[in-house]
Structure 1
């Protein structure tokens, strides 16, 4: 399948090589707002654009020259839009107005696209569509190419999209919206290990806690027909989901400590599972050499797991593989018929108790990792794309369901 190519009209451009990664470059462009393209992929952006907030309405007014700002200054006040593309090329066609045309290349199903500025892109796109984008306002465009590993896209997108996420979690903590989580984790003193707001120290961020819980959202993902891929693909957007429907997460408080324990168990125990299975081929294979594994750097302390007491390891499973494996265990989560409901939801409980969940991981973990690896290996060896693949999440879920059924049938 050929690349998706987006032509971009550019007033001025410059190119800067990356100081650390050979072949990687960043292209900086000033693009007329009135000619901004409407078909740049949003695959890499961790949040769905929602431009109804007051701050984005102000941005729209500034772009369209409806406030008291000096005309022609939008590009000086706005940080612009950042994109990851596979390549940038300059078109041979020339324009009489002195503008150049560049082409941005995006491989299909690569996860490339806008990593920061999705809301701004929606604002500009809408202004162009309505014919109100001024020709004398410009958008800063930052296009990164030649990145050495596709999984860097997730890190870049996460780092670029912290401002609204940080603001949201801090406000939620200020309003005590996380109190039910703190109460649920209090018996093990796990609440002290979580950073609940901006600037607070912790071993794990509350945004990650919400994303992990989202893997077990049996209200929206009750079976194999759909899967909580956005828990990995758009982690920051889970805070928005929490704000909109906190009861969806409150219903998980009876099993919250189990979920976090399972998260750390899978992350830390995957090496043993992989080695016992003999690797993807059954003939062995070092776990630490796999792309889905993360190893400590020389001289660094071992990985610690906040929800597994005393467990440390030199290797752990990376999130693109960890999340779909973890989410498959929602298979064992059922709606409780006991106790008061959480808004419109009943509480959640394990079908046969949490010990049975750990036993199923012990029996099926190696096979689930093999399913992930074989998909990754046969579809371009792109870890980021594998972690974002609904088909792969579905395959892992179905594999666990088969193993669970076979175990129950023989017992």
Structure 2
């Protein structure tokens, strides 16, 4: 079943029939949105994360003007009657969806950490661009074009294009046949994958 998330906003405008741009409240922004469309997972040790966190917690009221914003993909987006909230319907990957955070995973991680440390974020706002009804291919295209703050490694780009599907399919068959689980890093900062270079998909592909 699709899940819904509510985003509290000050204002919004319809950029086109399938795109909404809004000014969202940071203090109530959902921190558990799926990362499915994003081409890499956030890394709290990265310079990108530290810069966002410092900007947010040092001068929350200026965060909107100093940050490029968050890009999301949703199956549907509905406005509340009083226009103070957007309700996003997100399809799970198992339902054929590619919804969630396209760009801005480090930003949402900074929101989560700032809330955990009890920072006052009531004055903080963030620009949110919501694309509605994207195909998986379109979501990945936007993710590749959007993630430019820090370099994205070639492995993540290849994975976003779907060029590792044949490896994933082969390994899935092998896992079933041998009753074992392979932990392979297909993209940057992938959780659950060992840091060992021998577990990198590029090593496997070139072997």
TM-score w.r.t. the length of structure 2 is 0.75
Match of 1:208 in 2: 158
- 1:104 partnered with 2:54: no
Match of 2:75 in 1: 86
> Number of residues paired by the alignment?
194
Match of 2:14 in 1: 15
C-alpha separation in 1, matches of 2:201 and 2:30: 42
Question: Superposed, which structure 2 residues align to 1:161-172 within 5 Å?
Answer: 161-166=147-152
Q: 2:181 aligns with which of 203, 226, 236?
A: 226
CA drift at 1:72:
1.7
Whether the aligned pair in 1 keeps the contact of 2:184 and 2:200 (CA below 8 Å) is no
Q: Which has the higher helix share?
A: 1
C-alpha separation in 1, matches of 2:48 and 2:156: 24
- 1:160 partnered with 2:149: no
Structure 1 residues 75-111: Cα deviation after superposition (integer angstroms, max 9, x where no partner): 111111100001111123x4xxxx7011011123322
Secondary structure (helix, strand or coil) at the match of 1:35 reads: coil
CA drift at 1:119:
1.0
Match of 1:6 in 2: 5
CA drift at 1:122:
1.0
Question: Superposed, which structure 2 residues align to 1:105-184 within 5 Å?
Answer: 105-109=89-93, 110-147=97-134, 149-166=135-152
CA drift at 1:138:
0.6
Whether the aligned pair in 2 keeps the contact of 1:124 and 1:133 (CA below 8 Å) is no
Match of 2:38 in 1: 45
Q: 1:76 aligns with which of 55, 65, 69?
A: 65
Shift in CA distance, 226/130, structure 1 to aligned 2, threshold 3 Å:
same
CA drift at 1:227:
5.4
Q: 2:56 aligns with which of 27, 49, 63?
A: 63
Q: 2:196 aligns with which of 245, 260, 265?
A: 245
Runs of 4+ in 1 over 4 A off after TM superposition: 227-230, 247-253
C-alpha separation in 2, matches of 1:88 and 1:245: 41
Structure 1 residues 27-48: Cα deviation after superposition (integer angstroms, max 9, x where no partner): 1111121121233222211211
Structure 2 unaligned blocks of 5 or more: none
Structure 1 unaligned blocks of 5 or more: 18-23, 170-204, 257-347, 349-411
Answer 1 or 2: higher relative contact order, Cα 8 Å, separation at least 6: 2
C-alpha separation in 2, matches of 1:206 and 1:37: 25
| RMSD across aligned positions (CA) | 3.7
Structure 1 residues 58-82: Cα deviation after superposition (integer angstroms, max 9, x where no partner): 21111012xxxx6521111111110
Secondary structure (helix, strand or coil) at the match of 2:106 reads: helix
C-alpha separation in 1, matches of 2:156 and 2:75: 33
Whether the aligned pair in 1 keeps the contact of 2:48 and 2:150 (CA below 8 Å) is no
CA drift at 1:55:
3.2
Shift in CA distance, 121/71, structure 1 to aligned 2, threshold 3 Å:
closer
Shift in CA distance, 248/43, structure 1 to aligned 2, threshold 3 Å:
closer
TM-score w.r.t. the length of structure 1 is 0.40
Shift in CA distance, 222/105, structure 1 to aligned 2, threshold 3 Å:
same
- Work out which of the two has the higher radius of gyration on C-alpha atoms and give 1 or 2: 1
C-alpha separation in 2, matches of 1:85 and 1:131: 29
Whether the aligned pair in 1 keeps the contact of 2:37 and 2:102 (CA below 8 Å) is yes
C-alpha separation in 2, matches of 1:27 and 1:72: 23
